Structure 1
Amino acid sequence: MHVERTFTVSRSPEDVFDYLSDFVNTNEWDPGTLETTRVTGDGGLGTTYANRSTFMGREVDLTYETIGYDRPTFFSCRGTNKTATATDSMTFTRDGDRTQIRYRADFEFRGVAKLVAPLVVKPKLSALADETVEQIKAALEG
C-alpha cells in the first residue's frame, strides 16, 4: 500500500534536496518521528539511519538505508524492521524559483500486520501523508 502527494515549495531544488535527503531532518518534518540518527555513511547511497517513530500509538524502530540519490532531482530511502518495510521516494522538479516535490511512501507488511494493515493502517496513512506535507512546507518555508 502507498500514499503519494505532490506539492510546491518556495525553495530551489538544490536546497530542498539537501534538506530532505539528510534523513536526520525527519526529526523536523516527519510528524511520526521521535528521533533519527545517522549510523553510517556520508549522506549518499548506502548511508544508514536509526529511526524511532510512533504510529497509531505504538513506538516503532526502523533501520533506513539510502537507496536512491541523484542530486538535486531524486532521493529514496528504505526502512525495515521485522514486521514492515517502508520506502520513501521523493522527486524534485524546478518550477521557476520554486520546487515541485512528488513524495511517495510505500509500505509492505509481514506476518499478522499484513492481514490487518489494509483495514486498520490504510485509513491512517492518508491523514499522516497530509500532515507530512504540511510539516515539510513549514520546515522549508518557515
Structure 2
Amino acid sequence: MHVERTFTVSRSIEDVFDYLSDFENTNNWDPGTVQTTRTSGDGGLGTTYDNTSEFMGRKTELKYETIGFDRPTFFSARGKNKTATATDSLTFTRDGDRTQIHYRADFQFHGLVRFIAPLVVKPKLDSLADETVEQIKTVLESSS
C-alpha cells in the first residue's frame, strides 16, 4: 500500500534536497513523527536513524536507513519494525527557481495487521499524506 503526492515549493532544488534528505528534519515536517535521531553515518547512504512516530493514536518505533541518495534529485529511507516496513522516497525536479517534489511512501504490513490495513489504515494514510505536504510547504517556504 502506498501514498504519493507531487507539489512545488519556492526554494532551490539544492536547499530542498539538503533539508529533506536530513531525516532528522522529519521532526519539523512529518506530522506523524514524534522524534527522529541520527544514530550513525554522515547523512548519505547507509545513515541510520531511530524514529518514534504516532499513528492512529499509537506510538511505534522504527529503525530507518538511507537507501537512496543522489544529490540533488533523489532521496529514500526505509524504516522497519516487527509490524511494518515503511519506505519514503522523494524525487526533486528543478522548476526555474522553484522545486517540484514527488513524495511517495510505501508501507508493507506484517502479521495480522496486513489483513486489516487496507480497510482501516489506508484512509488515514491518505489524510496524513495531505498533512505532510502542507507541513513541508510551510516549513520550506517560511524559511526561504
AA aligned opposite 1:121: V
Deviation of 1:40 after TM superposition, in Å, equals: 0.4
| Inter-partner Cα distance in structure 1 for 2:24 and 2:49 | 8
Partner in structure 2 of residue 45 of structure 1: 45
| Inter-partner Cα distance in structure 1 for 2:72 and 2:121 | 32
Deviation of 1:125 after TM superposition, in Å, equals: 0.6
TM-score by length of 2: 0.98
Partner in structure 2 of residue 86 of structure 1: 86
SS in 2 for 1:17: helix
Q: Where does structure 1 lack aligned partners over 5 or more consecutive residues? A: none
Instruction: Report runs of 4+ in structure 1 exceeding 4 Å deviation.
Output: none
| Inter-partner Cα distance in structure 2 for 1:25 and 1:94 | 21
AA aligned opposite 1:136: I
The superposition leaves residues 72-94 of structure 1 with CA deviations (integer Å, 9 ceiling, x where unpaired) of 00000000000000000000000
Partner in structure 2 of residue 135 of structure 1: 135
1:69 maps to 2:69:
yes
| Inter-partner Cα distance in structure 2 for 1:44 and 1:100 | 22
1:95 maps to 2:120:
no
Partner in structure 1 of residue 120 of structure 2: 120
Partner in structure 1 of residue 58 of structure 2: 58
SS in 1 for 2:133: helix
Percent identical residues: 78
SS in 2 for 1:44: coil
Deviation of 1:3 after TM superposition, in Å, equals: 0.2
AA aligned opposite 1:8: T
Q: Where does structure 2 lack aligned partners over 5 or more consecutive residues? A: none
Partner in structure 1 of residue 27 of structure 2: 27
Q: How many positions carry a matched residue from both structures?
A: 142
| Inter-partner Cα distance in structure 2 for 1:37 and 1:69 | 18
